[in-house]
Structure 1
Amino acid sequence: MLGDLMGYLVSSFWHVNLVQMVLSMLVVGLVAGGGYVINDYFDVNIDKINKPDRPIPSGRISGSKARKIALSMFVAGVLFSIPLGIVPFSIAMFTIVMLYLYAKDLKRTGIPGNLTVALTNGLSIFYGGSAYMEGDWLLKVILPTLYSFFLTLVREFVKGIEDYNGDKANSVTTLAVTKGIGTAWRISKILLILVIVVSPLPILFGFNLSYILLIVVAFIPSVVLSLIQKPSIESAAKARSYLKVSMLTGIVAFLLGSAPFIPKVYLSQHAYLILFQLLLSLH
């Protein structure tokens, strides 16, 4: 829901229609919640190995009840999307289908499953922009959507390392299982370095001083902390925690970076290239 809020405020530059914004957040929250529940329903055998304390494998909730809860949340999300228009309604329906297919089959396909999670997570931010959909909303919301996509993709690769034993036992073809933990770790680090290198890009679009400050003091350090972890199952949990911090600080950076009451910062192309080279030299 925070991602959707950020997407809406970035797209509108804080010109808020309260009903529109609240409906958008409700849709994303309900659809995402339904996705989590249906994922746990289909993952019960894997979770018995990896995370036996979760509600379904522990027996605190039955599978049939979990399925009904997921369906109820999906239906409610679709109903709330109708007043927002055809585009938000279509995105909500598409996301529900993808979440169901991911939980049922795609999770066991490795990279296609990882891409599905990254796409649906990025769409939670994009959805906020689609609810507003005025002026140059698409240009404004596409940057945080792409950041979310790539950070989530890396988090999925790292989660595959963390869950290596359970996934291998259940023939889940994650990147770590099919190519090895070392390869999965190297690919994750390459993607994270690319995210750091291009992180100054929003400055060219007039984001304010708070974006720069949060990127420098919170976002980049948390990404670096995940980068320096050792390529092992034990270290994967730490790396994933740091990536969660990166995701949160990135959302806040875009959220405050679009705020009209904070002074904007404009850099010339030459100054931006200097900053870009400085970040590149760190790696």
Structure 2
Amino acid sequence: MSFKSYMQLVRIHNVIGAALGAIMGFLVSSKWQILEAKQLLLSALVVGLIAAGGYVINDVYDVEIDKINKPYRPIPSGSISINQARTLAIILFAVGVLASIWLNVFAIIVALLTVIGLVYYAKELKRTGLYGNLLVATTTALSIFYGGLAFFSDDWLSRIAIPTFYSFFLTLTREIVKGIEDYNGDLANNVRTLATTLGINKSWKIVKALLALLLIVSPIPFFIGFNFIYIVILIVAFIPFTILSIVQKNTIEGASKARSYLKISAIAGIIAFLLGSLPFFRG
């Protein structure tokens, strides 16, 4: 075992992205009241720890599938045992929930429900296809929502609703793409994704229609309060990488490329909402 293997197991780049989502949610909700540093850092910590635990427990239950789809992953490759991974997941979940105690009661409830949802997804729901996709999209969007919840002002919900919705929508699309990418292993293990039930080509058509719709509605936040930085990042990063995802061939290989592009789109979206909420750049 090695430090690198553990970083691969928790998917550290995704964990950082989730924590950034919480930071963005807090700053958007608080109108950049960065003096509330305790709540800001705690929300990012809770989200990061629980997200990491979710990735680890997912790999614990996915070991047979990963032997086909991703044999290089830490568990199927033998660099980390299932028992070690399961113990790590429990620790990450426990510390994440404990850290939420210093926020508020609603933050504790959301943290607990998210842990339950992630374990249920890894153990059962992932094999149901669309229902599993919806749960992953919900828990990912909750990263942003959680940052706003940590601030918890009178009007935090109205400010965080739009970025939370966009995160849900983009993540749902990315999950369908991942289902296409993992088609062979999922089919061999009776996992009912859209790709294994409808076929790769039809699943791709759904993905491209959803992404096209997302592109159409993406400028809306600029017209309802987000500043010009939002639209600049949209044009420079979000739109190009989303288009790159759309133009991929309707194949498993195309899904692998699209998944990488959509990660960049997601990060660009977080940055766009974050900087687009800066109050002193509004007209």
Q: TM-score, normalised by structure 1?
A: 0.92
CA deviations over 1:169-192 (Å, ceiling 9, x no partner): 011100000001111111111111
Which residue of structure 1 aligns with residue 154 of structure 2? 135
Which residue of structure 2 aligns with residue 256 of structure 1? 275
Deviation of 1:154 after TM superposition, in Å, equals 0.6
Which residue of structure 2 aligns with residue 269 of structure 1? none
2:263 to 241, 244, 265: 244
C-alpha distance in 2 between matches for 1:76 and 1:108: 28
CA deviations over 1:12-54 (Å, ceiling 9, x no partner): 1101200111111110011001001100100000000111111
Pairing 1:16-27 to 2, within 5 Å after superposition: 16=34, 17-27=36-46
SS of the residue aligned with 1:83?
A: coil
1:221 to 234, 240, 253: 240
Whether 2:26 is the aligned partner of 1:8: answer yes
Superposition RMSD on alpha carbons, in Å? 0.9
Q: Number of residues paired by the alignment?
A: 264
SS of the residue aligned with 1:219?
A: helix
Amino acid aligned to 1:9: L
Pairing 1:33-72 to 2, within 5 Å after superposition: 33-72=52-91
Deviation of 1:86 after TM superposition, in Å, equals 1.0
C-alpha distance in 1 between matches for 2:199 and 2:26: 39
Rg: which structure is higher? 1
Whether 2:211 is the aligned partner of 1:192: answer yes
Q: TM-score, normalised by structure 2?
A: 0.92
SS of the residue aligned with 1:84?
A: coil
Deviation of 1:193 after TM superposition, in Å, equals 1.1
Amino acid aligned to 2:50: V
SS of the residue aligned with 2:72?
A: coil
Pairing 1:111-130 to 2, within 5 Å after superposition: 111-130=130-149
Deviation of 1:144 after TM superposition, in Å, equals 0.7
Q: Which moved more, 1:24-33 or 1:193-202?
A: 193-202
Deviation of 1:135 after TM superposition, in Å, equals 3.1
Identity of aligned residues (%): 59
Deviation of 1:72 after TM superposition, in Å, equals 0.6
Pairing 1:70-81 to 2, within 5 Å after superposition: 70-81=89-100
Amino acid aligned to 1:28: V
C-alpha distance in 1 between matches for 2:122 and 2:43: 24
C-alpha distance in 2 between matches for 1:189 and 1:12: 35
Whether 2:186 is the aligned partner of 1:167: answer yes
